[in-house]
Structure 1
Amino acid sequence: MLFQRLRFYAFLCFNFTLCVSLTPDGLSLLSLKSAVDGGAASSFAFSDWNEEDATPCQWTGISCMNVTKSEDPRVVGISVSAKNLRGYIPSELGNLLYLRRLNLHGNNFYGSIPEQLFNASSLHSIFLYGNNLSGSLPPSLCTLPRVQNIDLSNNSLTGPLPKFLQNCKQLQRLILAGNKFSGEISEGIFPALANLEQLDISSNGFNSSIPNDIGELKSLSGTLNLSLNQFTGRIPKTLGDLPLTVSFDLRNNNLSGEIPQTGSLANQGPTAFLNNPLLCGFPLQRSCKNDLDNNTDDGAQSSLGGNEGQRGLKPGLIILISVANALGVAFIGLVIVYFYWRRKDSHGHGCSCTGKGKLGGNGNEKISLCSLPCFNGFPSNDSEVESEKDGGGGSGSGGGGEGDLVAIDKGFSIELDELLRASAYVLGKSGLGIVYKVVLGNGVPVAVRRLGEGGEQRYKEFVAEVQAIGRVKHPNVVKLRAYYWALDEKLLISDFISNGSLAFALRGKAGQPLSTLSWSTRLKIAKGTAKGLAYLHECSPRKFVHGDIKPSNILLDSEYQPYISDFGLNRLITITGNNPSSSGGFIGGAFPYLKPVQLEKVNNYRAPEARFPNNRPTQKWDVYSFGLVLLELLTGKSTELSPPTSSTSTEILDLVRWVRKGFNEEIPMSDMVDPILLLEIHAKKEVLSVFHIALSCTEGDPEVRPRMKTVSDNLEKVGT
């Protein structure tokens, strides 16, 4: 390294022209060119770094700015990243007093980070990740008064987490993942970092307990990543004091004890705590009482083997058990007799509806649902009432072909004959069933989906699933109102959403562009959809995974309020034994009246990991799909225009790659956004914010993606 620096100074002294023409900032920058080993990579990266130039401001990767009126432009940014350069970081870069952003990531720089680098007192962003830097963090790092972003991840840095980091008062992002840091983390560092928004110290060798005062990071957002270390002891309850939008990643440590159910800790899923063998409690499927119960059982058995075992059960207990058994047998007998007579009473009832028509015609066809196949018999009004009272148990459990129409919503009243006699319009057909718009006698339209036949052995499972869906109540989720079950027919009745889907609003018919939505409308749709999806993930009875978020499953009313549809539908299809395709359905809504539906042949909104067979859906799949919907709202481009090469392709969709490339290459925003949005000048900052949210949702690693609640909260801040 010393030899290379002497070579650099000798080079300066022998080149008189350079000494008199190039600015001092240019001379300091040439130290970087000299510190890099020669080769094709170096020649390419520094091809226009010419010593004869008067200023370095036109060199590739260099940004300049007039910092004062009396001086020439000064260097404020260095971005020489991902060039496969090998060398060391020269201390002369510290002479760039106005340098604000240093970006050398994705190269092969080695050696330590020089202390003198931080003489560049204007530095606020340092991106040196993805190199081979070694040694410890220089103490002078936090003498920088404005440093906000430090990303030194994926290097070979060593030592403990230094206590001097508490002097980085303005720090917002500290990313040290993938290094060789170890030892304890001192108390007192984190309370001083009041502005810290992101902390990632994963994949190191920290082997102490998690500091209690980490819960004082009140500005933290996104993911607190402490995974892949050797943290020991209990999880501090103070972590629950972090903002509710924070996600935790504590995987692959040596943590032990019960997971505290306080604050933000109570909102975490099981993924946050995996591979800590000694952790127990919710949300892990590992009870903290197991060991205690085992000890108690052993003690009880020992006692029983001594005194109680010799004496046997008390006479009173024996009598009580006998009475309970007799009552249980009598109850089962009554249930059997009840169902026998009920089936006998309903036997022989013919199909109570009449009418003509052919099922499932084209989109212009007006039919009657009485043209459905005639059932073996409908329940009487009395039995319908009974089935409603007992929670939809009914008698369609697979024995006699009898059907029940059960209203899930108490405020919804409908008779089976009324439903079957009503005029119906075919709205759409797919592997998820045929959907009709049905206008009831009171003039209220509903959407009716036919799920087909099958599933007679899984009646109870079907009812439990439908009722769980019916309990979901949110202004941005389609409401399921009732269902019908019979051996040869299953129907779902839900609200009809009048203004079609987001897919139609964006693309029109036959794939022709129809991007006339204003920015305020698009933002309204994005916010409402995010709220509904966050509700399904966090607050619904089952904490649903939708698994099929895309524009055709986001329905719009006349005010462009969005409604999420089709959640839980794939599960119901599985129960009934139908064979769903990758195309979506329209439970609760459709395209404008009497128009045939053009369904997607390939679902290009799935996350990369979702394209592997047999992978179970996760909430992070939904986050990725929602991110693609956001990108479509922003760019006006459809993922359907560039399908992946195969249904199991792991490539990131072209739309995601295209947007990321645009940001990396600093393509003008006007070249990426939907031209319609360019007319709304005031929305530029809001559009940029939503772009960043969309890109965080479409990260390739599902663990890096935020929770939907975080996404929703961040969208709510846009435009306020």
Structure 2
Amino acid sequence: MSRRASLWSLIALLALAAAPAPALSLSPDGLSLLSLKSAVDEPPGAASAFADWNEDDPTPCRWTGVSCANVSANSSDDPRVVGLAVSGKGLRGYIPSELGTLLYLRRLNLHGNDLSGPIPDPLFNATSLHSLFLYGNNLSGPLPPSICGLPRLQNLDLSNNSFSGALPDGLRSCKQLQRLILADNRFSGEIPAAIWPALENLVQLDLSSNNFTGPIPAEIGQLKSLSSTLNLSHNRLSGAIPKALGDLPVTVSFDLKGNNLSGEIPQTGSFASQGPTAFLANPLLCGFPLQKACNSPAQSGAPSSGPNNSPTTDSDSRKGLSPGLIILISVADAAGVALLGLVVVYIYWKKKDTDTCSCTGKTKLGGGGGGGGCRAAARICVFPCLGGAGGHEDSEAEEPEKSERSHGDSGGAAGKEGDLVAIDRGFTFELDELLRASAYVLGKSGLGIVYKVVLGNGVPVAVRRLGEGGEQRYKEFVAEVQAIGRVKHPNVVKLRAYYWAPDEKLLISDFISNGNLASALRGKSGQPSSSLSWSTRLRIAKGTARGLAYLHECSPRKFVHGDVKPSNILLDNEFQAYISDFGLNRLISITGNNPSSGGFIGGALPYFKSVQPEKANNYRAPEARVPGSRPTQKWDIYSFGVVLLELLTGKSPELSPTTSTSIEVPDIVRWVRKGFEDEVPLSDMVDPMLLQEVHAKKEVLAAFHVALACTEADPEIRPRMKTVSENLERVGT
């Protein structure tokens, strides 16, 4: 018996050893996450968002879209779920209330799906939530009043859904809220006034494209932390614009278009920095910056009444003018006409005197000639006759006639020998000196060949060849060049002169000695380079922003560049930035042919080593990629934002960068946006070299926010370039 018992014991042990080990149970956080997998359906044929969500795993921390962290001081404790991002997957279903049991969940990102139904109240039991991104779904119902039961809530984006009802007064309890984005929903009723004074940390407010009615609360002007956008567009708001909005910081971009607002636009405070697009599609609005004057009391919102409180008409006011006042007005009018006549006579004689200035001897760019017509030594002919039209010094009367001939009589075209015109008075050299000098090709593109030419006095200049055509559009060409030449700013390349002939058009500008930003970022090999420190990159960004802001706001024509990219940002030896190539597209269209198809100037030597191929479309705004669209200043702002992201990340826009969380997005703007939404560590997105400097992390983060504002998909939301420059100037100061 003992033998038999021993045998059975051995068999039992062997059977026990052969049995599979019991499965480890999934953590409570994992079980809560599986409720989302059960609550949604995935689109047929698409890659599963939950392919690695396995209920047999002991922890969900390796699942796609899930991030974990140790939340206790004891390192032996299991990590807890702190982030969930399952976005853009086309999921249909609802948000399960079980997600509210994730007590350490900090960010929830389910945007870009097709989720429906309301937001479940139990979700707000996850009291660690500070970022809730649910935009781009089909969620409905009212905004839950208990949403402010989340004490750490900072970012709330519920845009592009079907939420309805009024805004609850309980929003005032969201003390930490920084971004409130409720655009493209069905909210209605008046905007509550009591909410806004309590939201001391709000930096962005977007209530656009809803059904809000009534007036704009003046209390919104108390949002002192607002620094990004105030977007109330495309609602049914009415009444006057509160002057209190002028108390908002000047960096705030307004968007109030598409409402029923009336009266005169206030002219105080931050209103002064707003463009006309902020107020469009409000038929009853008037005043600057709209091209609609407030002519009547009804328009301006200031009723005018007589002694008996009856409206005073224009005819009444005319009847009330006294004879003495009428005589005074007449005398003032006569004096004004006389003064105007004196100005006209002065300009006539001034022009006549200037026209006697002539060029004699050898043609010199910027010289005053030596002819008897230039009697005053201090007076210089700014636009002298050129191209071999010099004459003899013994005849003053002959010179104006020669100048007239050199510009031609048909269509204003230049003479056969060409016309070299100085734009800058202090810039002097001879035409034959330019044509004989050794030249090196710096670059070649659809905007022409660019040469470096060293003049006889050792001064280098950059010469751009524009092409051979356009001889019938001489006056139009000159008008464009003169407008470009009037642009004078420390961060814009200065045009010094131009040369016109039927078979050649040249632009002569300053030569900037240290190449362009594309080469500085990527080196001669085209590979990413980390040689630029953060202070240098910030200096480049600030200089570029200042130059663009000047072109947009202060230049005589308020230029649109249309092609902002690193190769058009030149650098000197101190790494100061200079914007180049603005206004060239218009000049190329005037010349009417391919400027890069011709030969070289004189004995030009090709020098292409520093020129890197670059895909211009990667810097263009989304709306700029539509065929036939016309350039706008908002294009430039988007392009600058992409350049700034390249300075921050060290990555080219055409690359598909990845981080440690395996985020792959085909475009740098979307990649950075997704990184911020998912709270990817800054060190995973930024060029590592930038975090080595003192205080750099805080400054880099601020610059990222500027870049993200510039690269908003909606051009109306993007700030003005002036605002961008002002925000960058505050970084590092």
TM-score (norm 1): 0.73
Does 1:64 pair with 2:68? Answer: yes
Distance 1:559 1:395, change over 3 A: farther
Q: Secondary structure at the match of 2:190?
A: strand
1:14-72 CA distance string (max 9 Å, x none): xxx99994444444444434444698699944455455544444444333333222854
2:228 equivalent in structure 1: 222
2:294 equivalent in structure 1: 288
Distance 1:437 1:161, change over 3 A: same
CA contact (8 A) 1:84 1:107 kept: yes
Residues of 2 paired with 1:709 and 1:381: CA distance? Answer: 54
Which residue among 525, 536, 541 is the counterpart of 1:526? Answer: 541
1:603 equivalent in structure 2: 616
Residues of 2 paired with 1:122 and 1:334: CA distance? Answer: 76
1:96 equivalent in structure 2: 102
Does 1:707 pair with 2:720? Answer: yes
Deviation at 1:641, TM superposition (A): 8.9
1:539-563 CA distance string (max 9 Å, x none): 3343321112122221111122221
Residues of 1 paired with 2:118 and 2:67: CA distance? Answer: 25
Does 1:697 pair with 2:703? Answer: no
Residues of 2 paired with 1:42 and 1:654: CA distance? Answer: 21
Which residue among 634, 651, 661 is the counterpart of 1:620? Answer: 634
Deviation at 1:185, TM superposition (A): 1.1
1:365-399 CA distance string (max 9 Å, x none): xxxxxxxx954557989999x99xxxxx9996653
Structure 1: segments with no counterpart, 5+ residues: 1-16, 305-315, 354-372, 388-392, 585-591, 643-651
Q: Secondary structure at the match of 1:231?
A: strand
Does 1:203 pair with 2:203? Answer: no
Q: Identity, % of aligned pairs? A: 65
Distance 1:238 1:572, change over 3 A: farther
Residues of 1 paired with 2:254 and 2:394: CA distance? Answer: 53
Aligned-residue Cα RMSD (Å) equals 5.3
Distance 1:159 1:383, change over 3 A: farther
Q: Secondary structure at the match of 2:262?
A: strand
Deviation at 1:660, TM superposition (A): 6.3
Deviation at 1:211, TM superposition (A): 1.1
Q: Secondary structure at the match of 2:171?
A: helix
Q: Which moved more, 1:62-71 or 1:213-222?
A: 62-71
Q: Which moved more, 1:393-402 or 1:128-137?
A: 393-402
What is the one-letter code of the residue matched to 2:110?
A: L
Structure 2: segments with no counterpart, 5+ residues: 1-20, 305-312, 320-329, 365-385, 598-603, 657-664
1:4 equivalent in structure 2: none
Which residue among 241, 248, 261 is the counterpart of 1:255? Answer: 261
Distance 1:564 1:383, change over 3 A: farther
Does 1:556 pair with 2:571? Answer: yes
Deviation at 1:478, TM superposition (A): 1.6
Where do 1:82-121 residues align within 5 Å?
82-121=88-127
Q: Which moved more, 1:269-278 or 1:281-290?
A: 281-290
Q: Which moved more, 1:37-46 or 1:135-144?
A: 37-46
What is the one-letter code of the residue matched to 2:625?
A: R
Q: Which moved more, 1:58-67 or 1:266-275?
A: 58-67
Where do 1:299-314 residues align within 5 Å?
none
1:78 equivalent in structure 2: 84
Does 1:265 pair with 2:271? Answer: yes
Where do 1:286-365 residues align within 5 Å?
286-289=292-295
1:649-704 CA distance string (max 9 Å, x none): xxx98555666677789999888777987998996776666556545434443234
Residues of 1 paired with 2:27 and 2:627: CA distance? Answer: 60
2:3 equivalent in structure 1: none
Q: Secondary structure at the match of 2:644?
A: helix
1:5 equivalent in structure 2: none
CA contact (8 A) 1:582 1:602 kept: no
Residues of 2 paired with 1:609 and 1:527: CA distance? Answer: 25
1:287-318 CA distance string (max 9 Å, x none): 3338999x9xx9679999xxxxxxxxxxx99x
Distance 1:107 1:551, change over 3 A: closer
CA contact (8 A) 1:430 1:599 kept: no
CA contact (8 A) 1:251 1:276 kept: yes
What is the one-letter code of the residue matched to 1:279?
A: L
Deviation at 1:433, TM superposition (A): 4.9
Distance 1:517 1:116, change over 3 A: same
CA contact (8 A) 1:351 1:374 kept: no
Residues of 2 paired with 1:137 and 1:94: CA distance? Answer: 17
Deviation at 1:192, TM superposition (A): 1.1
1:566 equivalent in structure 2: 581
1:648 equivalent in structure 2: none
Distance 1:74 1:212, change over 3 A: same
Residues of 2 paired with 1:656 and 1:276: CA distance? Answer: 33
CA contact (8 A) 1:244 1:263 kept: yes
Residues of 2 paired with 1:39 and 1:550: CA distance? Answer: 39
Give the number of aligned pairs: 647
1:365 equivalent in structure 2: none
Where do 1:442-591 residues align within 5 Å?
442-449=457-464, 451=466, 454=470, 459=475, 465-483=480-498, 492-507=507-522, 512-513=526-527, 515=529, 517-520=531-534, 521-574=536-589, 577-579=590-592
Distance 1:398 1:76, change over 3 A: same
Q: Which moved more, 1:115-124 or 1:67-76?
A: 67-76
Which residue among 234, 238, 242 is the counterpart of 2:244? Answer: 238
Deviation at 1:331, TM superposition (A): 7.2
CA contact (8 A) 1:446 1:496 kept: yes
Does 1:423 pair with 2:437? Answer: yes
1:32 equivalent in structure 2: 36
What is the one-letter code of the residue matched to 1:87?
A: G
CA contact (8 A) 2:264 2:285 kept: yes
Distance 1:540 1:333, change over 3 A: closer
Distance 1:397 1:279, change over 3 A: farther
CA contact (8 A) 1:41 1:83 kept: no
What is the one-letter code of the residue matched to 2:67?
A: S
Q: Secondary structure at the match of 1:517?
A: coil
Residues of 2 paired with 1:382 and 1:705: CA distance? Answer: 60
Q: Secondary structure at the match of 2:221?
A: helix
Deviation at 1:145, TM superposition (A): 1.5
Deviation at 1:276, TM superposition (A): 1.6
Distance 1:579 1:654, change over 3 A: farther
CA contact (8 A) 1:41 1:85 kept: no
CA contact (8 A) 1:222 1:710 kept: no
CA contact (8 A) 1:418 1:441 kept: no
1:78-132 CA distance string (max 9 Å, x none): 3333333333333333333222222222233322222232222222111222222
CA contact (8 A) 1:99 1:123 kept: yes
Distance 1:611 1:102, change over 3 A: closer
CA contact (8 A) 2:42 2:48 kept: no
Where do 1:669-688 residues align within 5 Å?
none
Q: Secondary structure at the match of 1:207?
A: strand
1:179 equivalent in structure 2: 185
